[in-house]
Amino acid sequence: MLEVRPLIAVVDDEESVRLALARLLRASSYEVSTYASGQEFLDSLQGRRPDCVLLDFQMPDMTGRDVQRSLAMAKLSLPIIIVTAYDQPSLREQCLADGAVGYLSKPLRRDALIAAIDAAIQGGNGAA
Amino acid sequence: MSIDLDRLASAQHPVARFIPALDHYPLLRKLLALGIFEIAFYIAYRYGMSFGQATASPFWFPDSVLLCTLLVIAPRSWWLFLLATLPVRLAVEVPPAPLWFLLGMFAIDCTKAVLAATLLKRFLSDPIRLSTMRDFGLYCLFVVVLVPASSGLAGAALRHALGHEYWASWEQWFYGDALASLIVTPLLFYWVLRPAFPRRDLFARQWLEPLLLIGGLLISTHLAFEPDSGTRGFADTRFYAPIPFLFWAALRFGMFGASGAVGLLTVFAVGTSLSGLGPFTGSTPIELAASLQQFLLLRAAPVYLAAVLFEHTRRVEWSLRESEGRFRYLADTAPVLIWMSGTDGLCVFFNKVWLDHTGRTLQQEHGEGWVDGVHPDDRERCLAVYESNFNARDSFEMDYRLRRYDGEYRWILDKGMPRYAASGEFLGYIGSAVDVTERRRQEVALRDSEERYREVVESQTDLVCRMLPDMTLTFVNEAFCRFYERDRSSLLGTNLIGLVPENAREIAADRVQSVILPRERCAWECEALHPDGSHGWRRWVCHGVFTPDGELREFQVIGHDITDRKHAEEANRKLDHAARLAAVGELTAMIAHEINQPLCAILSNAEAGEILLQSTDPPLSEVRRILADICRDDLRADEAIRRIRALMQKREMLLQPIDLNDAITSVLHLVAGDALQKRVHIRRELSSEIPPVLADRAYLEQVLLNLITNGMDAMADTAAEMRQVTVQTRRNDAETVLIAVFDRGHGISDEKMPHLFDSFFTTKAGGMGLGLSIARSIIQAHQGHIWAENCPNGGAALHFTLRVAAPVSVSTAVDSTGT
């Protein structure tokens, strides 16, 4: 039987970051789908839903928070890990309060990233 | 009738009338004069010699003729006329006398004549007129006494040489010369040389008196010298009959009448004596001559004295009349109103100008009639001033309204002063007045104008003062006094420096002095010490006041309280500082964001590469790609740092008046290529009536570039034929100009509108989100406002205001982070 690898959605407007994270996650045995904007990600939810979302907070047009709210409004519960290039103390609490299951600041270390993803997936499986 | 004999001075002597006709023939004129003189001298010499050869003539006529001639001709011609007498002396049949005697007599007579003529010309105002006591006295002294007496000494010596007694000869000589000088010479003065005939018109009207006088004289002298008068002697009354007529002639006709009357008497006396008739008969020739001389001397002297007194009095009267005439002329022609009052204070005289002004007659104004013309409101004061000063004999000056001929009351400035006679006797008052209505109107207007300007100055809240070059206060307004809580009198005369805080005195003094040379206004701001001890700020504007010659007269300084403005600036600085601090936080976020992105990519790529290399068959091509990406991201990080450093550079903002439309045009040229590429039409709506604005051109162009570029970028999804960016300028209000940039994009959503100018807010992919926040900071540093709104027809509009340029240079440092 083929093992279904978890699908991780990487939502970041920075192309180099998307590519690098996709490489790292694929090398870490994850499936990765990348999205350049929050709207693109939301439009993709008609298909296979990811098991975890790495969501960049600071994006043009639609910030990470906007995506969180859109998912909440659509009553879609997905494990979301907020990723930000500029860590602010209040931002962490705010994102977690909005429903994020993780909060990481760039640059992302592999072990921390994998641990957060695994925790998010397990938490989601537990909830499901 | 008083005949004005002095007017006869203008009546020309017949000879004088004749001779001027020969002005063009001086030689002929001189020869004619010489001829006339020869004839006259011959006649006189013959007559003089007819009295007897052994005695001196009672009247030596030739002396009078010679003297009169020398008095009327120029001294340079005297020698000719003196020499002309010698032939007569030699030619006239004389008793046998040696030549030396004749020549001696000639020399003495010439010397006598020259001396007398010289003395008369030198000391008498008019040698031919003996009209004053002084002149008559000097004439008697020189010509009647001194010259005959001194020449008699020489003449007596000559006679003595012929065997005659010395002193008897001298006495005869003296009396003969003296009498001739007293009787004949004046006769020649007034009847021949410059006849003082009465004016024909007067004589024609008043002919009776002279006729009676002449008749009386003739009759009385005939009675006095009738053939049998010698038998009656000198005691008879008829002998003195001519005396009243002599005095009548002297007192009515002056020296003219006196000399004529005495001459007539002399003719009668001499004639009858020569005929052996009259009261002098029976005497020896010497006794005859002596009697005649004494008789005539005693008659002539008092008569001439009376005549001279009469002339003197008449001259004084004439001078007085002339003086009065001059006064009247001046009084009536001078452009002032003149009045005079007597010792009782009542007015006795008003000049023509006064009467013309009031339109009344002298009779109406006389006494206190003039008071009727004074304005009723001024009468009481006017009379009180006049009376009080009159009684105190003081000069006074007063102004009052006097009714003019047309009924209008005109303001008069009247000055009166007491007048006194030469003896010191008070005679009354004399005054002069001028119409000062126009002057008063101008004074009132000037006073009103001054009062108006004073009110303006005094009502100012600004401190206004004037001071001398050494900063001594000469004027302070009410606000100045209130500010320093001192009254005006205690401030004037003090030095302004004393009111300035010590730490600001040097700059204040320096600024004041800097006005002198360039003669320009200068302004400065300095701390002000309030009376309550608090510190404030004041802006002083100083300019010099110069005389027409260019000399500095005073400084005028105006101080405007800017304490509130300074406090506001301080508050703004604090806000700026707070904003700067906030921006620093934002800057940190910006740095973190820009650096962490490439770092994240690098780390993830590197870790991915590690994992791939740990596999048994590592995909080297993938690893190479990873390494290439790592390099690229590293360079990106470097680029991000450089951009951040560029933004971090502080640059001083220098606000100065600039042409806004010109700056916009420059920016539009910059974006022209970009607009063409993006197929955006740029439309200009630049008002030509906007004044220069106070701005830093480089920063302003940065804002404009940002707004225009944003506008073009906003129309990326707009149909090409619709893409238009409009740049508009217009006057907003008295102090600001409005600039607007319109686009035809999709506008700004309600969600984004509040965050449009926030730092790092961006709607563009890859944008840092600093353009509008920096633009806002720049505009705020220009003391302007910036805002955005959506247009009714679609698209968005960015507006910002700039201040109209003022002539003050303000320097502000602007952080390029937008704070």
User: Tokens for B309?
Assistant: 């007194």
The C-alpha torsion from B644 through B761 and B739 to B695, rounded to 10°, is -30
- Which of B55, B86, B523, B609 has its CA nearest to residue B285? B55
Q: Does A3 touch chain B (CB under 8 A)?
A: no
Distance from the Cα of residue A71 to its chain's centroid:
12
Q: Which residues of A touch B632 (CB under 8 A)?
A: 16
Mean pLDDT, residues B720-725: 89
| DSSP tag of B241 | T
- pLDDT digits 0-9 by tens, A24-44: 999 999 999 999 999 999 999
Task: Write out chain A residues lying below 8 Å of B624, CB-based.
Answer: none
Distance of CA B643 to the CA centre of its chain: 77
Provide DSSP, B457-489: HHH-SSEEEEE-TT-BEEEE-HHHHHHHT--HH
Contact B608 A20 (CB under 8 A): yes
Q: What is the dihedral of CA B27, B28, B29, B35, to 10 degrees?
A: 110
Superfamily of domain B650-815: Histidine kinase-like ATPase, C-terminal domain (3.30.565.10)
Same fold flag, B334-442 and B461-561: yes
Q: Residue B14's pLDDT is what? A: 46
Q: How far is CA B87 from the centre of its chain?
A: 72
Beta bridge partners of B620: none
> Does A101 contact B at CB distance below 8 Å?
no
Span A67-82, average pLDDT: 91
Q: What is the CATH number of the domain that holds A60?
A: 3.40.50.2300
Could you give the percent of chain B with pLDDT greater than 90?
Answer: 32
Distance between CA atoms of residues B327 and B323, nearest Å: 6
Q: How confident is the model at residue A50 (pLDDT cuts 50, 70, 90)?
A: very high
Which residues of chain B are within 8 Å of residue A19 when distances are taken between CB atoms? 601, 605, 629
Residues of chain B with Cβ-Cβ distance to A23 below 8 Å are 604-605, 608, 622, 626
Is A14's Cβ below 8 Å from some Cβ in B?
yes
pTM beyond 0.80: no
Q: How much of chain B exceeds pLDDT 70, in percent? A: 84
Count CB atoms within 10 A of the CB of residue B131.
24
Q: Identify the band that residue B205 occupies on the pLDDT scale cut at 50, 70 and 90.
A: low
Structural domain of A105 = 7-127
Residues B605, A20: C-beta atoms closer than 8 Å: yes
Cβ atoms B375, B409 nearer than 8 A:
yes
Classify the C-alpha dihedral B117-B121-B126-B130 as positive or negative: negative
Better-scored residue on pLDDT, B56 or B430 = B430
CATH architecture of structural domain B461-561:
2-Layer Sandwich (3.30)
Does position B277 have pLDDT exceeding 70, yes or no?
A: no
The H-or-E segment that residue B683 falls in is: strand B681-686
- Please say whether the beta carbons of A41 and A15 come within 8 A: no
Q: Which residue has the tokens 């360039």?
A: B518
> Which residues of chain B does A87 touch, with a Cβ-Cβ cutoff of 8 Å?
592
Q: What are phi and psi of B726, to 5 degrees?
A: -110, 130
The model's pLDDT over B162-173, given as tens digits with 9 standing for 90+, comes to 888 898 888 888
Classify B334-442 by CATH class: alpha beta
B35-38 contact pairs (CB < 8 A, 24+) = B37/B65, B37/B69, B37/B81, B37/B84, B38/B84, B38/B87, B38/B88
Overall average pLDDT of the B540-562 stretch: 86
pLDDT of residue B582: 59
Q: Nearest to residue B27, comparing CAs of B85, B77, B86?
A: B77
Give contacts of A20 with chain B, Cβ < 8 Å. Answer: 600-605, 608, 629, 633
Give phi and psi for B815, each to the nearest 5. Answer: -80, 130
Question: Chain A contact for B596, CB < 8 A?
Answer: yes
pLDDT per residue as tens digits for the range B20-42 = 555 667 788 888 888 989 999 98
Alpha-carbon span A65 to B383, nearest angstrom: 105
Q: Which of B591, B604, B748, B755 to mutate to test the interface with A (most CBs of A within 10 A)?
A: B604
Q: Is residue A1 part of a domain?
A: no
A74: phi then psi, degrees, rounded to nearest 5? -85, 5
H or E, element range at A81: strand A80-84
Residue A6 has pLDDT above 50, yes or no: yes
Q: Within a domain: residue A2?
A: no
| Nearest residue to B69 via CA among B99, B105, B44 | B44
Q: How many domains does chain A have?
A: 1
Q: Specify the range with the lowest mean pLDDT, choosing from B230-234, B766-770, B815-819.
A: B815-819
Buried b (16+ CB within 10 A) or exposed e, B287-323: ebbbbbbebbbebbeebbbbbbbbbbebeeeeeeeee
ipTM of the prediction: 0.88
- A111 to chain B, any CB pair closer than 8 A? The answer is no
Q: B815 pairs with which residues across the strands?
A: B650
CB–CB contact A86 B626 (8 Å) = no
Q: What's the CA gap between B730 and B755, in Å, rounded?
A: 27
CB contact under 8 A, A61 and B763: yes
Question: Which of B183, B126, B146 is CA-nearest to residue B307?
Answer: B183
Evaluate if residue B94 carries a pLDDT over 70. Answer: no
For chain B, which residues make up each domain, given as ranges? 1-196, 207-325, 334-442, 461-561, 581-647, 650-815
B354 band by pLDDT with thresholds 50, 70 and 90: very high
